Amino acid sequence: MNKPYVGMMVLAKSIANGHSTCAPAVVTRVWQDGSPAVVNLMVLHDASSPAAETSVYLYNTEDEARDPGAPSRAAWRLPETGSVQAYASER
């Protein structure tokens, strides 16, 4: 996987996004590019103001981010192959 970078779009776990369990987010700072990476995000909630989230663990897959052992502040990368629209319609 490529290293995270400022401006990268990801999906973040969300408890405040209407009926959705995730929200799109933009990486605003990369603190650590390990596995998982640690980043700051600007989360784009549905029908409300964007919210800054700091020190979020960025995983490669949704399953890793939603694992019971993962931190509550977690996000995952968009799929590299296929359409993001197709991915979103599956959710």
CB half-sphere exposure, 12, CA atoms < 13 A: 30
Instruction: Report in angstroms the alpha-carbon separations of 59 from 9, 80, 85.
Output: 13, 13, 20
What's residue 2's pLDDT?
80
Q: Tell me, what amino acid is at 28?
A: T
Section 61-83 average pLDDT: 85
What's residue 7's pLDDT?
95
Domain boundaries, the chain: 9-77
Give dist(CA 21, CA 18) in Å, integer. Answer: 8
Helix (H/G/I), strand (E/B), else coil: 33: coil
What's residue 18's pLDDT?
63
In total, the chain counts a number of residues equal to 91
What's residue 29's pLDDT?
97
Q: What is the pLDDT of residues 30-66, one digit of tens each?
A: 999 888 999 999 999 888 889 999 999 999 999 999 9
Q: How far is C-alpha 83 from the chain's CA centre? A: 17
